[in-house]
Structure 1
Amino acid sequence: MSDLVLDVRQLQVQFQTEAQVNIAVNQIDFQLERGKTLGIVGESGSGKSVTSLALMGLVPKPGRVAAGEILFKSEPDGEALDLESLPEWERRTYRGGKIAMIFQEPMSSLNPVYNVDFQLTEAILLHQNISKAEARKQAIARLEEVQLFPEVMERYPHELSGGQLQRVMIAMAIASNPTLLIADEPTTALDVTVQAKILQLLRDLSQARQMSLIFITHDLGVIAELVDDVAVMYRGKIVEQGDIKDIFKNPQHPYTKGLLACRPRLDQKLVLLPTVADFMTVEEIPETQEISIQERSPDENLQAQVSLEEDKARLESLVAQQPLLSIQHLQVGYRKRGVLGMGSYNMAVNDVTFDLYPGETLGLVGESGCGKSTLARAILRLMQPLGGDILFRGENIAKLPARSKRLRQLRREMQIVFQNPYNSLNPRMAIGRAIAEPMVIHNIKRDKKKRLERVQYLLERVGLNPDWVNRYPHELSGGQRQRVCIARALAIEPQFIICDESVSALDVSVQAQVLNLLKELQSEFQLTYIFISHDLSVVKFMSDRIIVMNKGKIEEMGAAEQIYRDPQQDYTRQLISAIPKGF
């Protein structure tokens, strides 16, 4: 193993139930040299996270490592040990010490009742025989190494942003100076600017410490400038691996080609995004991939671009209409803690004004905390604005009482699709009943048979099996659950839908399907969207115009193509520069 840190040979992980044996990782091989970085890429269910858990010795029951070797060498001149052959007590000396891991969701990994000081020093004391004072000194040094101030030590997880939480997790992982660091989707759902900083931080730490790194993700674009080599996983197998630049420039496997093609590009605008299914035969298509609503060939899909002239003509025809929605000097704030009286508010939305036209998609982009979601909730009157007007088809809904009959009637025409589909659906309610619920509330199609027909029609329109009406949310994938939420939003035939980060946490391949679906449904039902995201490439693909928000105010507004090609504000340029662009 000369300079190899890790040599995985014929690794197989299986989950055995009473009914069957499911092979999650199927005889994979890969190697990692000291100080190098390996990317493991694939969709949800491809086996990449199970592989990382196998390396850590944390495969949950009823799963187990059924075959293969995991050879690990912590020191350059040390002996390579097969981790699977070690007893559990000895495996623990490596776990967290020589092999550390950063999990996907930092809020779930940190204990909410303890501050950062306690949790970080605890991790250091667990692997080092030193005093509490020395452990605290090291903890502060690790925080500074990940570019956090010592004051963070006294804070609790809920008092930190997503980027700060992830930095705390990185500080905890490197506290014992590991030989190998595994990062499992550490930037999923983070702002593109925060994501860029986390990736740069991991790159700098790996180089400074000569630490080997395994970076797991579903997005090849994210790791383009971070990793040396990449392994593409599909249905538990590694279908392609090699140098990252070679994979980008000349992918060989159809699955790799699909992953590279389905992320929206900034330099061109397609009518519909390619999906993984466009590059594979019917037998090869993943179970989580639904066939697109509109049948098209891969060549047609890749070549159907929107020209600048078409884009401009569409926008001119849209803005020539009367606005469907007009927001005028809208203000939304949160009362400061412990302060009474007028004016004592933290302003989340401050003097925002814009118009939205029938059939338009208006993109709303900005970092977390800029006021995007607060603005969306205020428009739908899920929050009470402090000031300003919300004119929907000329009627000022900002002045309507919260429980008024008129506001209830107008809500038939305004719907929202939230970021997390699992939290949006009742886990005890079958999806057919969940889609029918808005019709029951608004007394639409009182006949049960007609309601069922409407539900089955909507399921079919969003690319799901109409016979799935009795399935529950936990039986569906993330992309399928999001399609159910879209069907539910369409149930009462609204004119206006807000999509609030509705694709942020999805695999890029599933994200492409959902974005295509939203465009196809807009064309069929003449829908008007406000599309909210922190990812400018996704917003640009979806939108006719874009609003860039920063600290509760509109930083910049204009045509989608113009915002990308000629941004006027430094903040917009910063968002664009942070987008992963590959090679």
Structure 2
Amino acid sequence: MSESVLDVRNLQVQFTTENQPIIAVDDLTLTLKKGEKLGIVGESGSGKSVTSLGIMGLIPTPGKVTEGEIWLNPETDSPPVNLIKVNSETRRKYRGGEIAMIFQEPMSALNPLFTIGFQIIEAILQHQNISQTEAERKAIALLQEVRLLPSDRELREAYTDKTRENSDKVITRYVNGQKQEILKRYPHQLSGGQLQRVTIAMAISCNPRVLIADEPTTALDVTVQATILDLLRDLCSQRGMSLIFITHDLGVIAELVDTVVVMYRGEVVETGEIEEVFINPQHPYTKGLLACRPRIDRKLQILPTVSDFMTVTIADDGKPIIQEKDADLASMEEDIVTEEQQETRLSQLLDNEPLLSVKNLQVGFPIKGVFARTQDYFMAVKDISFNVYPGETLGLVGESGCGKSTLARAILRLIPSLGGDIIFEGKNLAQIAIGDRKMRSVRREIQIIFQNPYNSLNPRMTIGKAIAEPMKVHNTDNGKERKNRVAYLLERVGLNPQMQNRYPHEFSGGQRQRVCIARALALNPRFIICDESVSALDVSVQAQVLNLLKELQEEFGLTYIFISHDLSVVKFMSDRILVMNQGNIEEIDTAEEIYRSPKTEYTRQLIAAIPKGEFD
């Protein structure tokens, strides 16, 4: 791996604004060797994605590369090329042919109006002088390489085993039919993990020397994430391809990359071999990133955060001045919740009457037939029963499509159920019609925090009005009392009350989620459902929000259902965990017991897929 394929030297990327220019990447230098897998790690706003877009020549207006060089060493005997200096047409030739990119959100990267086959073939024909038939054959081979389509041998064996058919002609017709069927699918007909495989197939279609993967697993379940990481590792090994893998989570790349670059506010603060950085981090920001992710093998009272390791002030020139704190990580990790403490707490919780009892709940979505008549139901929740006790946090885990969010919405009576009971404080909510005024008093007691804080807030409403809106709807306080409560709630979730006249776009993702939490608390509820409420956040912001939710539970006596596909996060938050799969309960037990002795193969797979982020 001695040969360099990409050299980025003193790169600076600047965005022009009405007030003053913003330097998104400042004096960045990195070298990518042949066959090397390099990780770029940092929170939102660190400049890692802007770095990748700068390398690709895709910086959006009003941004531009103002300084630096980007040298690409082509695979041929041609001399190195400074991509900054070449014209747009030449740059386009290298983009896709020599350097390719996988974006974070595959649904946005693919055109919903065209089949995946058309889009892969188009990418191939753009850079290779081959026929349509040959491009189609190559597209099928790529889909097999990224394991979206089984190999010819596997297709033949599966068909033979199922039908006992021995005719080679019939089997060949079946195999060819399966290949054509996958090419004719549209993006909406595939899952998130399948779509990401399509974008990988497109990226590698022209045999690039460098593949840039920008947060390619952030929106995926842990099991799907693990398969995508394995796939990228195998592709790099088989093709001799170099990889730049961008993420906010050091744990994700522990077993994938060789070298890691840590970025903070546009600058590289640490770089080195991945094992050395993990075992002996030098910069306080790196130490904070490593410490703030929940550990699956232990349960802390509170999670460390980046602010425990450093303080940041801004100099007159706008650059951050970082001062390291003497963080006592050892004492933080000594503050472990023992198994005995967990058992004592759970025993006390279970001595009470359940706050919520779900009995034989069934939720289905109608399948329409002729004349739009319902001919059947797709059952998303199948005969589920469980209890939640006052003051408890019940973790709800499972992959996308398992029914966990549907279950939450059924409990809130946002969608109807087909059968079963939902008993909350003695009232059977399943017997109350959706929209009935009887639900109004119940909704004061049960609130929900959604996954995406961007979509949860009205962009035309100040955050103060957004928090006060539930109080206004339920007519709980007068104007002055509402204003005082809004100020109190903002302060309680760690935001300045003077910010209440600002709009959602003026806040970061973590701050928006704090606003959503404040709004959920506005009516003094007893029960809150957190539906993937931290999955869209950076790990450091995630740690802050998780700590906040625990503090609020203690202060207000809250009961939570905490929904996530990340078992390490759920284990930190929960007293018990309920594992769902395809609408059924796989198992329900204490968080410690689920991790130590999973009863089902599905739960074992979920645990095995969690990024460990550790080295011996």
Matched, 1:186 2:212: no
For 1:355, which of 381, 387, 412 is the aligned residue? 387
Q: TM-score, normalised by structure 2?
A: 0.91
Partner in structure 2 of residue 206 of structure 1: 236
- Give the Cα separation in 2 of the matches to 1:284 and 1:310: 43
Q: Cα deviation per residue 1:201-233 (whole Å; 9 max; x = unaligned)?
A: 000000100000000000000001110100000
Q: Map 1:222-237 onto structure 2 (within 5 A).
A: 222-237=252-267
1:96 aligned counterpart, secondary structure? helix
Partner in structure 2 of residue 52 of structure 1: 52
- State the Cα distance separating 1:298 from its structure 2 match: 5.6
- State the Cα distance separating 1:189 from its structure 2 match: 2.2
For 1:313, which of 316, 322, 344 is the aligned residue? 344
- Give the Cα separation in 1 of the matches to 2:27 and 2:98: 25
Partner in structure 2 of residue 528 of structure 1: 559
Partner in structure 2 of residue 484 of structure 1: 515
Q: Map 1:245-284 onto structure 2 (within 5 A).
A: 245-283=275-313
Distance 1:287 1:335, change over 3 A: farther
Matched, 1:147 2:177: no
Matched, 1:399 2:452: no
- State the Cα distance separating 1:283 from its structure 2 match: 3.1
Partner in structure 2 of residue 338 of structure 1: 369
- Give the Cα separation in 1 of the matches to 2:249 and 2:210: 22
* 1:3 and 1:76 in contact (8 A); partners too: no
For 1:563, which of 586, 594, 613 is the aligned residue? 594
Q: Map 1:78-477 onto structure 2 (within 5 A).
A: 78-149=78-149, 150=179, 151-283=181-313, 300-338=331-369, 344-445=376-477, 447-477=478-508
- Give the Cα separation in 2 of the matches to 1:572 and 1:96: 39
**Which residue identity is paired with 2:593?**
Q
- Give the Cα separation in 2 of the matches to 1:366 and 1:506: 19
Partner in structure 2 of residue 6 of structure 1: 6
- State the Cα distance separating 1:46 from its structure 2 match: 0.2
- Give the Cα separation in 2 of the matches to 1:99 and 1:193: 28
1:283 aligned counterpart, secondary structure? strand
Q: Map 1:539-558 onto structure 2 (within 5 A).
A: 539-558=570-589
**Which residue identity is paired with 1:417?**
I
2:225 aligned counterpart, secondary structure? helix
- State the Cα distance separating 1:2 from its structure 2 match: 6.6
- State the Cα distance separating 1:78 from its structure 2 match: 3.5
Distance 1:287 1:352, change over 3 A: farther
Q: Cα deviation per residue 1:4-55 (whole Å; 9 max; x = unaligned)?
A: 0011111111112231011111101110111110000000000000000000
**Which residue identity is paired with 2:290?**
L
Larger mean Cα displacement after TM superposition, 341-350 or 520-529: 341-350
- State the Cα distance separating 1:79 from its structure 2 match: 1.6
- Give the Cα separation in 2 of the matches to 1:432 and 1:418: 18
- Give the Cα separation in 2 of the matches to 1:338 and 1:101: 42
Larger mean Cα displacement after TM superposition, 76-85 or 224-233: 76-85
* 1:279 and 1:298 in contact (8 A); partners too: no
For 1:502, which of 533, 538, 544 is the aligned residue? 533
- State the Cα distance separating 1:344 from its structure 2 match: 1.3
1:561 aligned counterpart, secondary structure? helix
* 1:39 and 1:217 in contact (8 A); partners too: yes
Partner in structure 2 of residue 291 of structure 1: none
**Which residue identity is paired with 1:401?**
A
Larger mean Cα displacement after TM superposition, 210-219 or 343-352: 343-352
- Give the Cα separation in 1 of the matches to 2:588 and 2:393: 13
Partner in structure 2 of residue 579 of structure 1: 610
Partner in structure 1 of residue 171 of structure 2: none
**Which residue identity is paired with 2:509?**
G
- State the Cα distance separating 1:403 from its structure 2 match: 2.3
Partner in structure 2 of residue 292 of structure 1: none
- State the Cα distance separating 1:195 from its structure 2 match: 0.1
Where does the alignment leave 5 or more consecutive residues of structure 1 unmatched? 289-295
- Give the Cα separation in 2 of the matches to 1:439 and 1:202: 50
- Give the Cα separation in 2 of the matches to 1:532 and 1:561: 17
Partner in structure 1 of residue 324 of structure 2: none
**Which residue identity is paired with 2:599?**
Q
Larger mean Cα displacement after TM superposition, 333-342 or 13-22: 333-342
What value does the CA root-mean-square deviation take over the aligned residues?
A: 1.8
* 2:395 and 2:576 in contact (8 A); partners too: yes
Q: Cα deviation per residue 1:312-366 (whole Å; 9 max; x = unaligned)?
A: 0000000010000000000001112326777711110001000000000000000
Larger mean Cα displacement after TM superposition, 149-158 or 483-492: 149-158
Q: Cα deviation per residue 1:500-528 (whole Å; 9 max; x = unaligned)?
A: 00111111001001100100000000000
* 1:232 and 1:241 in contact (8 A); partners too: yes
Q: Cα deviation per residue 1:137-171 (whole Å; 9 max; x = unaligned)?
A: 11111111100123321111111101001000000
Distance 1:185 1:287, change over 3 A: farther
Identical columns (%): 67
- Give the Cα separation in 2 of the matches to 1:401 and 1:563: 36
